[in-house]
Amino acid sequence: MKKPTTTKVAEALAVIAVVGLAAIPLALLASRSLAQSWYWPRLAPPSWSLRAWRYVFSPTAEVLPSLAASLSVALAVTLSAVIVALPASRALAWQEFRGKRAVIFALLAPVLTPPLAATMGVHSLFLRYGLTDTWVGVALSHLISTVPYATLMLTGSFSRLDPDYEAQARTLGAKAIDVWRNVTFPAIAPGLAVAASFAFLISWSQYLTTLLVGGGRVRTLPLTLVAFQRGGDEAIAAALSLVFLAPAAAVAFSVARFLKENQ
């Protein structure tokens, strides 16, 4: 069928918008981080310099320790959220039981309400048990928003898989571990990848929860970034934004590629 011109125009506009949405913020941050003396009203910077980047990776900036803190928290949170979500989503997708709607509601509530109220309560709970200002406390507090997302997403994957496949494999004599490795895992792998990447991204970009529970002692990357954004050195803040973005984009990209290969 021949496509009308309006469709072609709409398509072209949409593609331009997507490319712009992806490229423009990156180009802005990159040029801002490399520009020197880019004062009003210059349209382009008079010269370029690596000053901001050198500073970001110098020991005084303490960016590398915050990168390590962010990565370790996000990886631990992702792993725990997925481990907690797997059995729950399997039960939600395959089993009927009393109170199932209540469980789904309990999982949706943290997704649909501001996390700050619960975080404030958790803060006082952790104060009592000495978990404030600690890495463990921060990681635990990130579970509030990651576990529900991971569970809801994995429930979708399990409900598209027929539970009979597992039963058949067992009837044929496969051990539990083999059933998981050869039947269940390959089937839910795409959903697992999406759930894990969501958990990672949510934990990676937490600012306020980390600030409250970590008391400023657990300095993840967002805390350091805000310090520089408020501090007023735009070049350093831009360079740091790119450092902050890179792992998140890498995770999102590799998951998207993995999904395409699995289609």
| Binding to other proteins in span 227-256, by CB under 8 A | 229, 234, 237-238, 241-242, 244-245, 248-249, 251-253, 256
**CB-CB neighbours of 229 under 10 Å:** 15
Work out whether 92 is an interface residue with other proteins (CB under 8 A): yes
Work out whether 114 is an interface residue with other proteins (CB under 8 A): yes
Indicate the burial class of 245 (C-beta count within 10 angstroms; 0-12, 13-18, 19 or more). middle
Looking at 162, 168, 208, 262, which residue binds other proteins (CB under 8 A)? 208
The Cα 93–Cα 104 span in angstroms is 11
Q: Which is nearer to other proteins, 21 or 172 (CB)?
A: 21
Part of the chain binding other proteins (CB under 8 A), chosen from 49-57, 61-69, 119-127, 167-175 = 119-127
Binding to other proteins (CB under 8 A) within 59-88 occurs at: 83-85, 87-88
Binding to other proteins (CB under 8 A) within 122-181 occurs at: 122, 124-125, 140-141, 143-144, 147-148, 151-152, 156
Work out whether 260 is an interface residue with other proteins (CB under 8 A): yes
Number of helices (H), then strands (E), belonging to the chain: the values are 12, 2
Work out whether 90 is an interface residue with other proteins (CB under 8 A): yes
Q: Which is nearer to other proteins, 41 or 59 (CB)?
A: 41
CB 194 within 8 A of CB 255: yes
Strand partners, 35: 48
Work out whether 121 is an interface residue with other proteins (CB under 8 A): yes
Q: Is 22 helix (H, G, I), strand (E, B) or coil?
A: helix
Looking at 18, 64, 167, 176, which residue binds other proteins (CB under 8 A)? 18
The Cα 199–Cα 145 span in angstroms is 8
Peptide bond into 41 cis (omega under 30): yes
Work out whether 50 is an interface residue with other proteins (CB under 8 A): no
Looking at 13, 68, 79, 167, which residue binds other proteins (CB under 8 A)? 13
Q: Which is nearer to other proteins, 101 or 171 (CB)?
A: 101
What are the distances in angstroms from CA 91 to CA 2, 79, 95, 103? 49, 19, 5, 11
